[in-house]
Structure 1
Amino acid sequence: MQLSTYLILDGNCREAFEFYQRCFDAKLEALATYAEMPASEGMEIPEEASNLVMHARLRIGDQTLMASDNSPCSPAPYEGIKGVSIAVGVDSVEQAEKLFNALADNGTVQMPLDETFWAHRFGMLVDKFGVAWMINYDKGEQAAA
C-alpha cells in the first residue's frame, strides 16, 4: 500500500508544480489540462478554464505528489487547503535547510527551521501557493530515549 498526496489548487497548479520541481529536484511525470480531457456529458468546461490543470504528477525520489486546479465544474468556490500539512523527512541538515529555504521563498514561515528535542532540524511553513509543509531531519533512535 502507498499513500499519495493530491492537492487541489486555485488556478496556479502549473506554476506550483514547476516550483516544486525545482525545490525537490523532481521529475514532472504528467501534466494535462482540461482542454486535453475527452468530452464528457455533464462536464462542460468553460473556455476560460480550458488551460487549467486537470491532473499533474511529480516524482520526488520514490514518492508521488499529485494535484489539479480546482474543477471549473465545482459548484463551490475554492476555499484553500485547510487542516493538513505535507511532512517531508530529509537525510541531512543541509538538505533540510536547502528544501526549507526553497519552499519558504515568498511564503510564510510558521516555525523557523531549528534543532528540537526530536529532530536535528524541524520547521514549518506555508508556501506561496497556500500549501503547508513540515520539514524534519529526525534524530532517530536517540529521540525516543
Structure 2
Amino acid sequence: MALINPHINFNGNAEEAFLFYKSVFGGEFSKIMRFKDLASDDFQVSENEEHKIMHIALPIGNNVLMGNDVPEILGKTNENENRSKIAISAESKEEADKLFHGLSAGGQIEMPITDSPWGSYFGMFRDKYGIEWMVDYDPKYKGKVY
C-alpha cells in the first residue's frame, strides 16, 4: 500500500518549524539539504539563500513529514491557504492530547480537542507557522487509517 507523506513549503523558516515539529514528535531528521549543497555553475544560489532548507525530512511512524524553503525567485508561499490540513491519527487519547497541545502551542485553535459527535476524540488548529492540523483518536481504529 502506498504511503502519503506531507510536504510543506515555508518562507525561510523551514528549519525553525521542523525543529519545533521534532520537539513534539521526537525522532531524528533523515535528511537535511541546504540550497548551498546544490550550488553549481548551472544552479546559482544567492548568498541570502544558501543556508535555507532545500529539503528536510522527519520520519514519523511509517510516514515522513517533509518540507523546504521556497526560493525567493518563486515568490512567497501563502501562509493562510486553507485548502489542506495534515491529519494525525493518534494511537491513544493521551497521545492525541500531547500532539494537539504540543503542535498548537503559539498557534490558533479552530476546534478544541474533545469528544466529537461522530464518536472520536478530535481537534483542529493552525500552528504558529500557519500549517493546519487535525488530530483524531478513534478507539475503534487506535491510530489506524479508517
Answer whether TM exceeds 0.5 for this pair. yes
Contact 1:46 1:72 in 2 (8 A): no
Corresponding residue SS for 1:48: coil
Q: Distance in 1 between matches of 2:104 and 2:71?
A: 27
Task: Give the AA of the match of 2:24.
Answer: C
Q: How does 1:1-145 map to 2 (within 5 A)?
A: 1-39=2-40, 41=42, 43-74=43-74, 76-80=75-79, 82=81, 83-140=83-140
Contact 1:54 1:68 in 2 (8 A): yes
Q: 1:23 to 1:58 in 2, by over 3 A?
A: same
Report how many aligned residue pairs link the two structures.
139
Q: Distance in 1 between matches of 2:80 and 2:54?
A: 17
Deviations 1:16-44 (A, max 9, x none): 11111111113211111111114152x42
Contact 1:20 1:26 in 2 (8 A): no
TM-score by length of 2: 0.88
Task: Give the AA of the match of 1:71.
Answer: P
How far residue 72 of structure 1 moved from its aligned partner, in angstroms, is 3.0
TM-score by length of 1: 0.88
Task: Give the AA of the match of 1:36.
Answer: D
Q: Distance in 2 between matches of 1:107 and 1:119?
A: 26
Q: Which moved more, 1:101-110 or 1:24-33?
A: 24-33
Q: Distance in 1 between matches of 2:52 and 2:91?
A: 35
Task: Give the AA of the match of 2:134.
Answer: M
Q: 1:84 to 1:36 in 2, by over 3 A?
A: same
Q: Distance in 2 between matches of 1:116 and 1:34?
A: 44
Deviations 1:79-109 (A, max 9, x none): 2262110000001111111110000110110
Structure 2, gaps ≥5 residues long: 142-146
Contact 2:92 2:139 in 1 (8 A): no
Q: Which moved more, 1:22-31 or 1:93-102?
A: 22-31
Contact 2:111 2:123 in 1 (8 A): yes
Q: Answer 1 or 2: which has greater strand percent.
A: 1
